[in-house]
């Protein structure tokens, strides 16, 4: 009965969004995007699209999303939004991070990306434009992927903090007490495999077009770079996502090496009480601000 009710609710929500979408004006970017997509299909093989296309999407998205945070360090006005103002970024740390990223991207992640084509072939995942889901379906699927990845990340990340394991794997990621955007994927190769596995679970569950692979890559990178940015910028559109953790939530984890284990949402930490120190810290900060204003 509960399952049927859930399905009915989801179907009603889908129909409601579809009805609203019918009143929206045509997207002026849709036709150019369609032309580019069909050009890609006509000129490249599925293996090239799945492998090199996925690599390009990942690399371009990753470093473009890092650009705002990188620029912020040179703008005095933005320093008031930096969470750990006493720990500025250094060229030495950023260069070390960049070199490790290149190794992880091309020697750890690229071999995994090479399996994308075989995954799409095995599950008959379509590439054609006509089979592409509507935008609101992609949004819903990406949200579903985020929920699944967040659960995986919480429990495995918490396990990596166990005293018998931490110094061998996860300690690498915590070399930077004050994180910055580019550091999001700075990790031990084993951690890249362990925590990165959560990314693929949602794909297995939801994927019905190769476009979801790329949409989910962009969404996941947007989230992880934001929470590692070190800046709590106002009017951040990601804060419109229900239960979104954000930069302050994850920055506290890097400051204290404990608690706030989830990647995207706050519910697992709330459920298991692993955000208690963060809540206490926030209350202290509010009291300090009130005293300062007086």
pLDDT 10s digits, 79-104? 999 999 999 889 999 999 999 999 99
Q: Structure pTM?
A: 0.91
Strand partners, 190: none
Average pLDDT over residues 120-130: 95
Which of 188, 183, 215, 181 is CA-nearest to residue 199? 215
d(CA 80, CA 231): 9
Which of 63, 69, 65, 87 is CA-nearest to residue 229? 69
pLDDT confidence of residue 211: 96
pLDDT confidence of residue 25: 75
pLDDT confidence of residue 2: 47
d(CA 195, CA 16): 35
d(CA 177, CA 258): 12
Residue whose pair of structure tokens reads 């260069």 in the numeric block: 95
What tens digit of pLDDT does each residue of 128-182 get? 999 999 988 999 999 999 999 999 999 999 999 999 999 999 999 999 899 999 9
Start-to-end CA distance of the chain, whole Å, equals 56
d(CA 239, CA 259): 20
d(CA 85, CA 96): 21
Q: Report the half-sphere exposure of 181 (CA within 13 A, side-chain side).
A: 23
The answer to which of 22-26, 118-122, 140-144, 281-285 has the lowest mean pLDDT is 22-26
Q: Let me know: does 236 contact 225? Beta carbons within 8 Å.
A: no
Which of 89, 114, 113, 110 is CA-nearest to residue 101? 110
pLDDT confidence of residue 3: 45
d(CA 7, CA 4): 5
Identify the top-confidence range among 6-10, 14-18, 79-83, 84-88.
79-83
d(CA 259, CA 234): 24
| Count of beta carbons in the 10 Å neighbourhood of residue 200 | 20
DSSP 106: I
What tens digit of pLDDT does each residue of 52-77 get? 999 999 999 999 999 999 999 999 99
d(CA 193, CA 185): 11
């Amino acid at each position: 009965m509960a399952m049927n009710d859930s399905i009915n609710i989801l179907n009603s929500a889908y129909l409601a969004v579809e009805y609203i979408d019918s009143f929206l004006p045509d997207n002026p970017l849709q036709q150019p995007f369609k032309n580019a997509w069909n050009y890609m299909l006509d000129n490249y093989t599925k293996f090239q699209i799945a492998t090199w296309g996925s690599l390009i999407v990942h690399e371009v998205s990753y470093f473009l999303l890092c650009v705002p945070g990188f620029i912020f360090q040179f703008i005095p006005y933005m320093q008031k939004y930096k969470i750990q103002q006493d720990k500025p970024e250094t060229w030495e740390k950023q260069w070390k991070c960049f070199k490790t990223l290149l190794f992880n991207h091309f020697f750890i992640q690229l071999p995994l990306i090479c399996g994308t084509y075989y995954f799409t072939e095995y599950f008959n995942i379509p590439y054609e434009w006509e089979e592409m889901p509507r935008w609101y379906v992609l949004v819903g699927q990406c949200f579903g992927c985020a929920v699944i990845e967040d659960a995986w990340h919480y429990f495995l990340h918490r396990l990596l903090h166990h005293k018998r394991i931490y110094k061998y794997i996860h300690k690498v990621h915590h070399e930077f007490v004050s994180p910055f955007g580019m550091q999001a994927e700075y990790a031990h190769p084993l951690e890249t495999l362990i925590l990165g596995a959560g990314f693929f679970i949602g794909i297995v569950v939801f994927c019905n077009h190769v476009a979801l692979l790329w949409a989910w890559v962009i969404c996941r990178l947007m989230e992880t770079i934001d929470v590692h940015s070190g800046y709590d910028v106002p009017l951040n559109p990601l804060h419109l996502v229900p239960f979104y953790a954000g930069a302050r939530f994850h920055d506290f984890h890097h400051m204290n090496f404990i608690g706030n284990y989830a990647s995207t949402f706050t519910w697992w930490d709330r459920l298991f009480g692993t955000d208690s120190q963060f809540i206490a810290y926030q209350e202290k900060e509010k009291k300090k601000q009130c005293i300062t204003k007086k």
